[in-house]
């Protein structure tokens, strides 16, 4: 078994899973690949099973229903800890996270606890996105920076976690099961003194299929942001792993 796990949640991604798998395999990372599929009605799960048969390093978890992208990430995180992986990389399946950027993440792995792919470190990162999607993304970045004090791209799912230094308990303090998982987990990691760095990434338009972020999901994320802010004011210690988070967050300059 490799010490690195690449985790990818899926829901209705039949047009993307094979392409992404072949890209990752071709890059010859010393890593296993885990897909967590939420009972995709388009047959994504069947394609993933075929890929797992073809590639020994591909693993698949089938869940019974769509339970939220944050919940899927927690399933991948628990899988990685339970099997003693040292490094976990999470990414989307829709083609917006370039697999070749993983080498930059791995290069920083020994210098920090968390690496985040950031859409805000280069001017051309969102050139192919629609105006509405860019506005929604930048509004979310403004709110998480202003309300939570997170200077990083807090809604990005393209991350690396050093599981040898990041305790599972930190993730278990996160309550959000949807897209709010990303900013809430990064807030918990920051307040618990995790060393965080960023890698500049350029996000192309989705390869195939439709974005899972709709108005309802955006509203849930916004509600979770405000409830998290209230929770910080009333119960700050709730977000601290024992013995951590008592000082100033350890911020590392973005690379």
The pair of structure tokens assigned to 180 is: 């709010």
pLDDT reported for residue 248: 39
Residue 155 · residue 236 · CB < 8 Å: no
- Alpha-carbon torsion (89, 95, 97, 99), positive or negative: positive
pLDDT reported for residue 119: 82
| Residue 117, C-beta contacts closer than 8 angstroms, at least 6 positions apart | 97, 101, 105, 153, 156, 158, 159, 198, 199, 201
pLDDT reported for residue 253: 41
- Measure the CA–CA gap between 67 and 38, rounded to whole angstroms: 7
Residue 192 · residue 156 · CB < 8 Å: no
**Ranges of residues in the chain whose predicted pLDDT is under 70:** 1, 122-130, 132-136, 203-215, 217-219, 221, 223, 226, 230-231, 233-235, 243-255
98-110 pLDDT per residue, tens: 999 999 999 999 8
Q: For the chain, how many helices (H) and strands (E)?
A: 8, 7
pTM, two decimal places: 0.84
Percent of the chain with pLDDT over 90: 61
153-175 pLDDT per residue, tens: 998 999 999 999 999 999 999 98
Q: For residue 219, count other CB atoms closer than 10 A to its CB.
A: 10
pLDDT reported for residue 247: 40
Q: H or E stretch including 5?
A: strand 4-10
The torsion of the CA quartet 135, 92, 214, 115, rounded to 10 degrees, works out to -50
């Amino acid at each position: 078994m490799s010490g690195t796990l690449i985790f990818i949640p899926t829901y209705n991604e039949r047009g993307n899973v094979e392409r992404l798998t072949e890209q990752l395999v071709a890059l010859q990372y010393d890593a296993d690949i885990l897909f967590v599929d939420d009972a995709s009605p388009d047959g994504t799960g069947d394609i993933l099973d075929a890929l797992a048969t073809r590639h020994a390093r591909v693993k698949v978890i089938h869940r019974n229903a769509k339970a939220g992208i944050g919940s899927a990430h927690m399933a991948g995180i628990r899988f990685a800890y339970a099997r003693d992986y040292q490094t976990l990389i999470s990414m989307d399946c829709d083609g917006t996270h370039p697999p070749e950027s993983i080498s930059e993440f791995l290069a920083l792995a020994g210098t920090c606890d968390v690496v985040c792919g950031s859409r805000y470190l280069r001017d051309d990162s969102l050139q192919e996105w629609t105006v509405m999607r860019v506005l929604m993304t930048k509004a979310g970045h403004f709110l998480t920076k202003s309300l939570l004090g997170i200077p990083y791209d807090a809604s990005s799912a393209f991350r690396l976690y050093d599981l040898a230094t990041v305790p599972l308990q930190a993730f278990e303090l996160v309550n959000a099961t949807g897209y709010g998982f990303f900013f809430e987990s990064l807030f918990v990691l920051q307040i618990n003194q995790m060393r965080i760095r960023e890698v500049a990434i350029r996000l192309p338009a989705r390869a195939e299929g439709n974005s899972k972020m709709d108005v309802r999901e955006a509203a849930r994320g916004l509600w979770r942001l405000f409830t998290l802010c209230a929770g910080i004011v009333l119960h700050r210690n709730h977000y601290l792993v024992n013995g951590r988070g008592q000082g100033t967050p350890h911020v590392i300059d973005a690379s």
